[in-house]
Amino acid sequence: MIPVQGLAGTRVAVLGLGRSGLVAARALAAGGAVPLCWDDNPAAREKAEGEGFACVDLKRAGFEGIARLIVSPGIPHLYPDPNPVVAAALEAGVPVDNDIGLFFQSFATRDWDGFDISPRVVAVTGSNGKSTTSALIHHILEQVGRPCQLAGNIGRGVLDLDPAIDGEVVVLELSSYQTDLARSLTPDVAVFTNLSPDHLDRHHGLGGYFAAKRRLFAEGGPDRAVIGVDEAEGRFLAGQLTEGPTDDRVIRISVAQKLTGPGWQVFARKGFLSEYRKGKQVGSIDLRGVAGLPGAHNHQNACAAYAACRTLGLAPKVIEAAFHSFGGLPHRSQTIAEKDGVRFVNDSKATNVDSAAKALAAFSNIRWICGGLEKEGGLGGLAGATGGVRKAYVIGREAAGFAMQLDVEAEVCGDMATAVARAVAEAEAGDVVLLAPAAASFDQYDSFERRGDDFAAQVAKQLG
């Protein structure tokens, strides 16, 4: 655990007692603060009280004598409307923060004075690929024997990490919900994978969404910034951070173009990753045989992870070897079965149109299982992305309406069991049965993980 520094002897309110909130309360107490907790869920309050924390209805108690309010990521603080507790704190002039802010203000300690190599933080954000990129960086570090931990929006809560040891690297995946509110954001290396429309209601549009991501770079001034430049926002961000074409503190990455110039670039084209510095190629990796990173979208993840690891001093050949032992993440282009020449791939994490389009681009002869809770913006972004689809099998409560928007043959199946059964019945050798929903899961499942697990279970049932 990372004890919170700077709040000893103060009362700190904690709103939301899920994974991050309860850990924040523990870390605050470990640092000498007095947490006052609240969650509208009685079961969550009961669990906190079982650990000895006081639970107080913050809507009624007010904020007199409160030093700070710590808010869990799922609770809105501005758009579409601030939570009443957050609004009350702001009205009272009480600073609002989250566990990410507490982590960055508390991670460094006096113990570091005795280290030979100071610990470092690599923080990854973006619309798509941040989980795979974070896990891949962590995997590479593990393979070379570098002490490391993985946390944030993946794995453990940030304050649940162990205190750093000499030379350790902490890899954090950070969502826009987390970067938007954190009062302290000071990573050593910050990574921006890409940007596509998502969470627009929470951020009041694409501009607010990008602004939340941008805070990771603008607030803390990382030593190195790895920036995906295949969208206008990434190019703008790279331009804001750089002092000029030769400034190698900014590493531009791409899977859409060859990057040239005197700076530092990493790009992938036709399955080959290339690193250029000062106009000369200094590294190259053939990604075509890396089973855990299929498709252009995963090649972008590989470029981002490669660049981040190069800033940490790792050699290209070492990184390449680690790529080949990376198994991928569950629910992200994950091959779960193969039988009679048919491959079954679980990409339940493709919860928006852009990520689904990237999943579709990675395969051909696709039996596509899609549908769910449609996100703002519709399905127009799939135009031109379905050339490899033989047929779509649509699930979700609004499956008929979803199917009508597709430009391929589509069968309304409604539920996962029916969709998998129909896809298996019609699949031929060389086909890929791909779950890439292009929609949220919450109309039928409580998470994309549950949706992916159901897909895997139905595939296992059909294959016997």
The annotation places the binding site at: 126-132
Find out whether 62 and 84 touch, Cβ atoms under 8 Å. Answer: no
Which residues pair with residue 280 across a beta bridge? 277
User: Which residues are known binding-site members for ATP?
Assistant: 126-132
Find out whether 397 and 444 touch, Cβ atoms under 8 Å. Answer: yes
Which residues pair with residue 334 across a beta bridge? 346
Find out whether 266 and 275 touch, Cβ atoms under 8 Å. Answer: yes
Q: Is 50 exposed, middle or buried (0-12, 13-18, 19+ CB in 10 A)?
A: exposed
Find out whether 395 and 419 touch, Cβ atoms under 8 Å. Answer: yes
Q: Is 274 exposed, middle or buried (0-12, 13-18, 19+ CB in 10 A)?
A: middle
Find out whether 307 and 226 touch, Cβ atoms under 8 Å. Answer: yes
Q: Is 130 exposed, middle or buried (0-12, 13-18, 19+ CB in 10 A)?
A: buried
In which residue are the tokens 């689904």 written? Answer: 356
